[in-house]
Amino acid sequence: MWQMSPFTLPVAFLALSTIRAIDCLRSSDTVDHLQILARHGERNPLFPVPELGEFQIGGLTPRGYELEKEFGKRLLLWYPELFAASPTITCISANQSRCVDSAEAIVEGLGFKEYNTEVLYMLDFVDLDVTLIRPFLMEANEILLPACVQEAVSAVIAPTKENSPPSLSALAEGLFKAQIADSIDTLLQSGYTGTVFGVNLGKCIPSGKKLVSEKAFAKLADICASSQCTDVVRKVKDELQEFSVQNLPPRSVTRSVSVYGLSDNHVLDLLKSLLPQFNHTRPQFGGYILLESRGDDVTILTGQDVFSLPEERAVLNVHEVIQLLRRRILTAERTFANGNQSR
């Protein structure tokens, strides 16, 4: 049974993150509502790897769970007044086990035993129409792998190509190539430099190199933006609308915290929706967005991975934020409708 390396969090890092993050966040005693929009933690590869033995494909690793739980503990330190007020806690996840487990790990770190749960239905990647995912698969087929990896990958996918109709051969190759490349990136990100498919990753791939390019991932993000990502955007918008109603006279606010367990596509889509003036890249494991609602203002903070300190990116009126999300939903609905008409 393969497992990632044991988790340890240096005390110095935790202390530093606490001091610096409290300095960069506003006083949390004025936060009425907090939405934590987080990518899931460190996961297993999306493709079977013989050298690693049995593991849950795409599942959260033990280390990933512990890191997300520690993130929850840091949130307690960043927002002491908010959590001391016993806010209503809601755990919202995409319907992938790694997303559900990550959200629950954060809530466990927060120390709350009672909370509401909601799982948003999402199509699995393999269930999407081939026509819809064709642009990504063709882009994935152009991924340039190091020669030492390409030979091994070709041997793995050769039987699938032989058994696929000629019209689907290139798409099948793109799908497997993307899954294998992403699996290798996942292992390297987690610190694994051993052997995969007979290839020594430590010797074959330069340090810091990623096999799945931002261009290929952007194609996948575009697919999500016009389909399953919309439900997440709509949920965030609906919550903000509920918060804005509480601010109407006579003002009656029930403090709340929503913990979202999402995929990288969901978080990237939200970043593009909320902060269109910035260039965004694929969030790493545990990357997050914090939406702090104070009266009619929403402060947007982001962190690229689970270790990152939150960086303030914008302060907007809640109705501006709702309008940004509504515009994103309408664009997705038009894109999806036009796609159906063209088939």
| Residue 33's CATH number | 3.40.50.1240
**pLDDT at residue 94, rounded to an integer:** 94
Q: In this predicted structure, what is the pLDDT of residue 10?
A: 41
Task: Let me know whether 198 and 271 are in one domain.
Answer: no
Q: Looking at residue 20, what is its pLDDT?
A: 46
More confident residue, 294 or 140: 294
273 contact partners, CB below 8 Å, separation of at least 6:
233, 324, 325, 328
Q: How many CB atoms lie within 10 A of CB 323?
A: 13
| 118 and 236 both lie in a single domain | yes
Mean per-residue pLDDT, 165-178: 73
Last residue of a domain, one of 171, 193, 220: 220
Residue 124 has pLDDT above 80, yes or no: no
- 248 and 112 housed in the same domain: yes
Poorest-confidence range of 147-156, 249-258, 278-287? 147-156
Residue 28 has pLDDT above 60, yes or no: no
Q: DSSP secondary-structure letter at 208?
A: T
Confidence class for position 305, pLDDT limits 50, 70, 90:
very high
pLDDT value at residue 290: 98
Q: How many CB atoms lie within 10 A of CB 331?
A: 14
- Residue 137 shares a structural domain with residue 281: no
Taking residue 329's Cβ as centre, other Cβ atoms within 10 Å add up to 16
Residue 339 pLDDT grade (very low, low, confident, very high; cuts 50, 70, 90): low
- In this prediction, residues 247-274 reach a mean pLDDT of 93
Residues 115 and 202 in one domain: no
In this predicted structure, what is the pLDDT of residue 148? 84
Question: How far is Cα 194 from Cα 230, in angstroms, rounded to an integer?
Answer: 38
Domain, as residue range, for 147: 127-220
Mean of pLDDT values over 173-192: 87
pLDDT band for position 15 (cuts 50, 70, 90): very low
Report pLDDT for 153.
78
Query: What pLDDT sits at residue 19?
Result: 46
Structural domains counted in the chain: 2
288 in the same domain as 311? yes
Mean pLDDT of 249-255: 87
Q: What is the mean pLDDT of residues 31-44?
A: 97
Encode pLDDT of 198-244 as tens digits: 889 988 888 888 888 888 788 777 777 766 789 999 999 999 999 99
Give 247's pLDDT tier (boundaries 50, 70, 90).
Answer: confident
Which of 185, 201, 220 finishes a domain?
A: 220
Are residues 111 and 137 located together in one domain of the fold?
no
Residue, of 31 and 138, whose pLDDT is higher:
31
Same domain, yes or no: 286 and 246: yes
Are the beta carbons of 64 and 109 closer than 8 angstroms? no
C-alpha span between 164 and 152 (Å, rounded) = 20
pLDDT at 76: 96
Q: Are 117 and 131 members of one domain?
A: no
Same domain membership, residue 147 and residue 295: no
Q: Is there a single domain that holds both residue 158 and residue 277?
A: no
Per-residue confidence (pLDDT) for residue 296, from 0 to 100 = 93
Higher pLDDT, 166 or 90: 90
Alpha carbon 318 to chain centroid distance? 23
Residue 337 has a pLDDT of 63
Instruction: Note whether residue 21 is domain-resident.
Output: no
Q: Could you say which of 193, 220, 247 is where a domain stops?
A: 220
Residues 189 and 321 in one domain: no
Nearest alpha carbon to residue 241 among 37, 26, 100, 35: 35
Measured CA to CA, the distance from residue 103 to residue 105 in angstroms comes to 5
pLDDT over 90 percentage in the chain = 54
Confidence check: pLDDT of 315 > 90: yes
The pLDDT assigned to 168 comes to: 63
Is residue 286 one of the residues assigned to a domain? yes
CB 85 within 8 A of CB 253: no
